[in-house]
């Protein structure tokens, strides 16, 4: 992954910016292309947001953006507490959150910037690389607990589920959209997305749940190294998973909806005037910012993409 100027500043400077974020002086100095701002971001989207900040700062050398990568709940709490004017998350504001901001005479903007996918990964030695959504639900709710329940030729070992933070957007999505709000089994380890990949690569009976942008950028050496250590599962909405109806979280399948676990990425902007946070959001939705998203393997929200069907015959 690209190393930008954001990694050269220490925690003390970040703390200073948190203190000054709401000061009149800081706001007066902030313009759409200059100043100093802290933003919070769902840690699932860390690779793509680091890339976007790198490109933005290389263009506007009078700007400094300090990203804080947190689980989604913490990111939204930072926004509510006015520690930042920008949160990048996988959902819109709730009614209660809108009421909170409106009570403070703030009217947040929700800007869709991309479509993301949640990827399932297993150890390279695991040959169970196609699953149905129904099977996935049974794994997460504890109905299926061993690999041979999926495939009688597989081993009898217990399936070890590896999530990122329990308050993360991936856990929330799986619980709501896959498990229909049924409790998720206790057989879950809570890690970061990077640690999920490392855990799965070292434990042959594990299945990991990560944001797809950790393994989707073909120009990123870190992503490519990750892909060498895990197998990505193809998912199917049908009752039985086959080669013809199962799809991996590739960009084209996210675009067509054939990959079944797709979600949206939003910028929640509370900036009272047009400052650096607004400028960065404008960049994210611009042609250049959307091309960074396209290169990352996610699906741009504001730019048209061209799908090419390759006929093997």
pLDDT for the residue 306: 59
CB 235 within 8 A of CB 135: no
Question: Can you tell me the distance from the alpha carbon of 165 to that of 160, in angstroms, rounded to the nearest whole number?
Answer: 16
SS3 call for 98: helix
The pLDDT score that the predictor gives to residue 228 is: 84
Residues 6+ apart with CB under 8 A from 43: 69, 70, 71, 164, 165, 168, 192, 193
- Other beta carbons less than 10 A from residue 222's beta carbon: 15
Q: What is the pLDDT of residue 230?
A: 93
Residue numbers in the chain where pLDDT is lower than 50: 1-27, 310, 312
User: Who's near 99: CB < 8 A, 6+ residues apart?
Assistant: none
Gap between the Cα atoms of 277 and 36, Å rounded: 9
Helices (H), the chain: 11-20, 24-29, 46-59, 72-80, 95-103, 133-140, 169-173, 193-202, 221-229, 251-256, 276-285, 287-296
- Tell me the DSSP string of 237-248: SSSS--TTT-B-
């Amino acid at each position: 992954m690209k190393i930008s100027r954001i990694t050269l500043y220490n925690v003390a400077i970040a703390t200073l910016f948190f203190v000054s974020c709401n000061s009149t002086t800081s706001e007066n100095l902030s313009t759409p292309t200059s100043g100093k701002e802290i933003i919070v971001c769902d840690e699932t989207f860390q690779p793509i947001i680091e890339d976007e900040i790198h490109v933005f700062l290389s263009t506007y050398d009078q700007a400094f953006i300090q990203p804080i990568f947190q689980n989604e709940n913490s990111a939204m709490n930072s926004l509510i507490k006015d520690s930042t004017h920008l949160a990048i998350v996988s959902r819109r504001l709730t009614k209660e959150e809108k009421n909170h901001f409106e009570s403070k005479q703030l009217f947040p903007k929700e800007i869709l910037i991309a479509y993301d996918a949640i990827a399932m990964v297993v150890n390279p030695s695991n040959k169970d690389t196609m699953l149905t959504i129904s099977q996935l639900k049974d794994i997460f709710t504890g109905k299926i607990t061993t690999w041979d329940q999926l495939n009688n030729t597989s081993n009898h070992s217990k399936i070890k589920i590896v999530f990122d933070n329990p308050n993360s957007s991936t856990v929330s999505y799986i619980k709501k959209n896959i498990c229909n709000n049924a409790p998720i089994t206790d057989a879950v380890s809570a890690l970061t997305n990077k640690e999920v990949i490392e855990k799965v690569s070292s434990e042959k009976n594990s299945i990991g749940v990560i944001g797809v942008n950790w393994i989707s950028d073909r120009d990123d050496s870190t992503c490519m190294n990750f892909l060498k250590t895990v197998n990505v599962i193809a998912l199917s909405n049908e009752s039985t998973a086959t080669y013809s109806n199962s799809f991996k979280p590739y960009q084209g399948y996210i675009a067509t909806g054939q990959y079944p676990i797709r979600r949206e990425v939003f910028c929640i902007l509370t900036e009272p005037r047009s400052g650096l946070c607004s400028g960065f959001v404008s960049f994210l939705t611009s042609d250049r910012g959307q091309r960074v998203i396209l290169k990352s393997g996610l699906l741009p929200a504001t730019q048209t993409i061209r799908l090419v069907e390759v006929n093997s015959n």
